[in-house]
Structure 1
Amino acid sequence: MRARFLHPGAALFLAPLLVFLGLAYAVPFLGVVKWSFTLPDPGLGQYRALLTDPLVQSVFVRTFRICGLVTLASVAGAYAIAYVWVRGTPGQRLAAEYCILVPFWISVLTRAFGWVALLSNQGLINTWLRATGMLSEPLPMVRNEFGVIVGMTHFLIPFAVFPIASAMRALDERVLLAARGLGAGRTRIFWSVFVPMTMPGVIGAALIVFVFALGFFITPAILGGGRSVMVAELVYLRIFQSPDWGLGAAISITLVVIVGALSAALFRYLRPSQMAG
């Protein structure tokens, strides 16, 4: 099979893009790497502090816990929506499309404040529950991890739908018909055939959601109220309020390395094309 090489003309057109990406991303990133080793003193002191500081460790643990729960909730919700979108009636598909596309038209800030209006002590849900006599005291649904998980899940579900829907559309219907012909019921077909064959899309969706969730800042800051600080917010606090630029840079680099390691581990066993079905 003859190898294909990039045409010189195409390489010439790509050169400005590569230069722009290098200037916009690579150069600032190298600057952050430099800060992590030189501020306030040269050496590995900031990385040692990252490994020994109880505050930083607790923030990383909380971040991974929240991201894991958000990933589970987002993928489960996205799977249900994708199933209706791919295999539902025309009316159901149209409703699913609205559920997927409309959130993209609303900013993350507007969504976060919308959830505050719903979940706060004086919000719509607590007001209604107290008015009906179901509660005597409001439920604490914001300024804690619950509110952060709800807000992040609402934002990330649409991103998880697309790889799952792609895997469902690529499914060979003859396999499902063969399972039915062998006497399997709908429930058995779904759990034993349909779900395993769409698992690459589920894994891809989980990776996308988890990586996005690691860098969330606005939603945890608003719905967490400073009580559920995640890594991105900790970086902001160290850079702009402490200030401790060296530790903030070290945390940022550590987060980038973790995301890169997760992606490399996944791609080691799963091709990106499989995640898209």
Structure 2
Amino acid sequence: MTAATRLISRLTLVTGGGSGIGRAVCQRLASEGASVVVADISEESANETMVGLQNDLRGQGHMAAVVDVSSKESVKKLVTRIQPPSVCVNAAGITQDHFLLNMEEDHFDRVIQVNLKGSFLITQAVAQALVACGAPKGSIITVGSIVGKVGNLGQVNYAASKAGVEGLTKTAAKELSRFGIRCNCVLPGFISTPMTEKVPEKVIDKMKSLVPLGRMGEPEEVADVCVFLSSDDSRYITGSSIEVTGGLFIG
């Protein structure tokens, strides 16, 4: 099978598909032949992504769906509406940055609810659906972050949530491998997304100076790794975390 059509006839679910890395993942999955469910808390953003997806390959059909990943009810509603997806990418995530000494409890809770609990709820619901229908294989990819490994000033909640996502993924990989379901993490570094657009330019310049490759990453560069992990090209990889950082924080 050519690299261009590795995912023909596969149904894929992407949370946070309305923007940034999630949108780039949807575009790459579609370009390889997958049918994509673009799920986002913003219906408008999800639809925007969906209408731009390639849909001329065999059996392709895309849909947009609204989901609040932090709500079990919302997640259940989404997953029961669709066929069990053989590929799922957890890309929904938020930041509510503040220094530890000043962080409000609800800002901590909200980031954990979306980034960590949301990844748990989606992973659980998709895995349950795949096991129930006897699917021979599945791939669940969760977008973590390099800051989950190394920490980051002003991001105690975000770093904790992304560290949690790695632990969740490794455990899920151990439990679900007997059902043919692989679970992996992608750890982006500094990527140009709507999330980083709010960062002051002098901070961006400082970030770039720390990256051996000397630049910010693009969402498409993270999406490429997600698609590799979605495909059979990675069939012997599970429980892994792949850094997409331009060399930031090597070793």
TM over 0.5, shorter chain: no
- Considering Cα pairs closer than 8 Å and 6+ residues apart, tell me whether 1 or 2 has the greater RCO: 1
The TM-score, its normalising length taken from structure 2, stands at: 0.29
The TM-score, its normalising length taken from structure 1, stands at: 0.27
Specify which structure has the higher proportion of helix: 1
Specify which structure has the higher proportion of strand: 2
Bigger Rg over Cα = 1
